[in-house]
Amino acid sequence: MTITMMTAHFPALLAAGTFATPALDDYLRILPELVLSIFGMIVMVIDPLLDPERNQKPLGTIALIGAIAALGSAFIMAGHPGTAFSGEVQVDSFSIFFHVLIIAIAAVVILSSYEYMAVQRIRAGEYYGLILFGTVGMCLMSSAIELVLIFIALEISSISTYVLAGFRRRDAASSESSLKYFLLGSFATAFFLYGVAMMFGATGSTSIPVIREALLAGQSGLLAYVAVAFMFVGLGFKVASAPFHIWTPDVYEGAPAPIVGFMSTAPKAAAFAVLLRVLVETKAPGWFWLLWVSAALSMTLGNLGALVQNNVKRLLAYSSIAHAGYLLAAFAARPDLGVSAAMFYTASYAAMNVGAFVVVSHFANQGEKYVTLEDYAGLGRKSPALAAIFTFFLMSLIGIPITGGFFAKFYVLNSDLKSGLVGLAIILVLNSAIGAYYYLRIIVMMYMREPRGDVPVTTIPLAAAIAMAFCVAATLALGIFPGRVLDYTTQSADQIVRGDAPPVSVQQIVIPLEAAPR
Amino acid sequence: MLHLILFLFFGAICVAGAVNLLVQSHPINSALSLIVVMASLAAEYLLLGAEFVAAVQVIVYAGAIMVLFVITIMLLNAGAEQHTKGSRVAILIGVPGALIGAVLVAWTLLTRGHTGSVAMGALPGSPQDIARLLFHEFLLPFEITSVLILIAIMGAVVLASRPEAIARRHTESHQPDPLPQERQPAPQLVGSGKEH
C-alpha cells in the first residue's frame, strides 16, 4: 500500500470543468428532508405570531401536515433511485424503508403530543420545530453513504433529542435527563468521529462504497478494526446497547413521555440504519464478535434491570435496552438473513413502543405525576379501553402471536438459528421469558388489583386516540400480514449485502493525485 | 528533522494543556488552558500543511469561541469548583480502561497502522482546494450544517429560558402550578457552545 492507494480515493482535485451544479434529481432525492425543514421553519416563524397559551394546537397541526407531506414526498423520492450530491446520499429501497418508518414515527409522536402539551404547558414552537428538524437528521442518516454527512446528520438527530429531553422545564429530573444525555452523548459522538478519522486513515476515503472496496482489497490492517470498534462505541451509545446503556433509564425517566416514545424509536432506527451501512455494506472487519457480545449483554442486562423497576418509564427504558439487544442479535446473523429480520424488527418495535408511550403520556397527567406501577392498579376497571390498548402493546413487546412483536422475534430467532448461532438464540429465548415476567406484572397490576381512588382517569382525546389506533393497526398488520413487509425488507437487504449501488455519478470518479502535481 | 521536533513539541504542549484543563479547579484557568490547546493544535495543522485550517482554528477557536467562554465565566461570576471525590468504581475501571485504550490506539497507529504515507502538502489544503471540496463534494453536509446550527440556537433558547416565563402567563387563567419550581443555573448554555 503506497501513496497511490492513500491518495487515489481522495475525492478532491477532480478534472476541472466537470463540476455540475446539483440537478433536479439531486433535490428530489432529499425531498422529504427539504419538506421537513421547510415546515420546521414555518412552525418557527408562525410561533411568535400566535397567543402563547393557545398555540399548541395550530402549531401541532402545521407540524403534522409537514410530517404527512414529507411522508408523501418520500414516495416521490422512491421514484428516483440513485445517488445524489456527488455520492453523498443514496436512494434505494433500504433508505426509503427507513424514511417512511422515521417520518411515520414523527407524525404519531406529534399527534400524541397534542394533549400532553396542553396539560404540561410546554413551549410549543420549539418543541414541534425540534421534532421536525430532528427528523431531518434521522432521515439523512438512513440515506447517507458518506461518513462526514452521517456524522452531521447524527449530530442533528442527537442535539435535537438532547434538547427535547429537557422540555419539562419545571421538573429538575428533566434538566438532569437533558444534561446527562448531552454530556454522555457528546462523549460517544467523539468516539464515532475518531473512528471516522481512523477509517479515513485506513482506507483513504470517507465514502462507504470506496471504503468497502478498500477493505475488500484487504490491505487496511489493524487500523480498520480499531476504527470499526470506535464507530461502534458511538453508534452503540445511540441505540442504547450494552455496555453503553447506563444513561438510558435516567434519561427516559426525566424526559417528556411522548419524547421518550420518539427517542426510543426514531433515532434508534436511524442509528441502526447507519450501523447496517457501516458494518454490513462495507463488510467491516471484526464486526461479528462486537455484535455478538453487545447483543448478549444488552438482552441480559436490559431484562434483569427491568425486573426491579417500579417506574413504568424506567421499566420501558430497560425494556428498550433489551430490545436493542434482540435487534443486534439479528445483526450478528448472516447478513443475507439478518438484515431483513433487523429491519422488520425495527418497524414492529417502533409501532408497539411508540404506542406504549402514547398510553403512558396520556395516563401520566399533569406534571407526569402518575408513572409508577401502583398508579396503574385497577386501570382495567376504571378505563377498560386504555387498559386494553396498553395490554395489547405489552403483549406485542412480550412477543405473543397476532402481534408484530411475535413475528419480529420469530424472524430474528430464525436468522440466528439458520446462521448457526445457537448460543445467541438460546440467550434470546431465555431473555424473552424473563421479559414476559415484567410486562405481565403491569398487566396483572391493571386487571387484578383494586383501583386506587386518587389517580384520575381522563377521557382519551381525539388526537391521542388516533395515535393509539394507528399504532394498534400497525402492530396488528405486522402481526397478521408480515409477508409484504418482509418481502420488501428482504429485497432491500439483498441490495445492501451485495452492495451493488446504482451507477456512480460523474463527480465521484476519482483521479489519481499524481496527475495533478502541486 | 526540525519539522518533526516542532511537531512533537506542539503535540506535547497540546496534551499538557488538555490535562491541565481537566485538573484545574477554577474555570478561568481551564479556559486559558483551552487556549493553549487550541493554539498548539493550530500550529500542528500548519506543520501538516493545512494553512487555511490553521488560520481558521486561530480565528474561530482561539479567538471567537474563547472570548465567548471567558465572557460567560465572567457573567456567571463562577468561582473555584469543588472537586467531588469521584466514585471508586469509576477510578478502578475508568483509569485502566482509558490507559488500555490509549495504548491500543498508539500501538495500532505506530506498528500496525502503516497503510501508506503521504508526502507533505500532497493532500489538498489550500483555500481553493477546500472551497472546491466544500461546494462540490461536500455541498450537502455543508448546507445541512445550517440545520444543525439552527437547532443548537433553538436548544439554547429553550434550555436557557426561565420556566416561570410561561408559568406566569398560565397562572392567570389556570390553577397555579403544583410543582416546586427548580431553578437551574443553566449549565446547558455553556455546554451547547462547547459542542461546536
Instruction: Return the SS3 of A90.
Output: strand
Give the burial class of A313: count Cβ atoms within 10 A of its Cβ; 0-12 exposed, 13-18 middle, 19 or more buried.
buried
In chain B, the residue whose alpha carbon lies closest to the alpha carbon of A27 is B140
The Cα–Cα gap between A344 and B192 comes to 36
The Cα–Cα gap between B33 and B54 comes to 18
Please tell me whether the interface predicted TM-score (ipTM) of this complex is above 0.90.
no
Task: Return the pLDDT at B187.
Answer: 44
CA distance B9 to chain A (A): 22
Task: Return the pLDDT at A397.
Answer: 94
Residues A419-454 pLDDT 10s? 889 999 999 999 999 999 999 999 999 999 888 777
- Extents of the domains making up chain B: 1-82, 138-196
Judge whether A491 and A78 are in contact, CB under 8 Å. Answer: no
Which residues from chain B sit within 8 angstroms of residue A140, using beta carbons?
A: 144
Judge whether A387 and A447 are in contact, CB under 8 Å. Answer: yes
Task: Return the pLDDT at A59.
Answer: 92
Contact B141 A152 (CB under 8 A): yes
Q: Which of A146, A152, A202 sits opposite B115 (nearest CB)?
A: A202
Q: CB-side exposure of A462: number of CA atoms within 13 Å?
A: 1
The Cα–Cα gap between A494 and A490 comes to 6
Instruction: Return the SS3 of A91.
Output: strand
Which residues from chain B sit within 8 angstroms of residue A172, using beta carbons?
A: 182, 184
Is B184 an interface residue toward A (CB < 8 Å)? yes
In chain A, the residue whose alpha carbon lies closest to the alpha carbon of B189 is A179
Instruction: Return the SS3 of B195.
Output: coil
Q: What are the residue ranges in chain A where pLDDT is below 70?
A: 1-20, 219-220, 285, 499-518
DSSP 8-class letter at B155: H
Q: What mean pLDDT do residues B156-174 have?
A: 61
Q: How confident is the model at residue B163 (pLDDT cuts 50, 70, 90)?
A: low
Q: Which amino acid is at A392?
A: F
Of the candidates A315, A461, A324, A305, the one whose C-alpha atom is nearest the C-alpha of residue A374 is A315
- Extents of the domains making up chain A: 24-498
Contact A153 B144 (CB under 8 A): yes
Contact B116 A6 (CB under 8 A): yes
Tell me the pTM. 0.88
Judge whether A471 and A403 are in contact, CB under 8 Å. Answer: no
Contact A226 B115 (CB under 8 A): no
Lowest mean pLDDT among A491-505, B45-59, B72-86: A491-505
Q: Which of A137, A203, A367 sits opposite B179 (nearest CB)?
A: A367
Task: Return the pLDDT at A469.
Answer: 94
Instruction: Return the SS3 of A82.
Output: strand
Q: Is the pLDDT of residue B176 over 70?
A: no
The Cα–Cα gap between A268 and A324 comes to 9
Portion 85-144 of B in contact with A at CB < 8 A: 104-105, 108-109, 112-119, 121-124, 129, 132-133, 136-141, 144
Q: Domain B1-82 has what CATH class?
A: mainly alpha
Task: Return the pLDDT at B164.
Answer: 54
Lowest mean pLDDT among A310-319, A474-483, B128-137, B160-169: B160-169
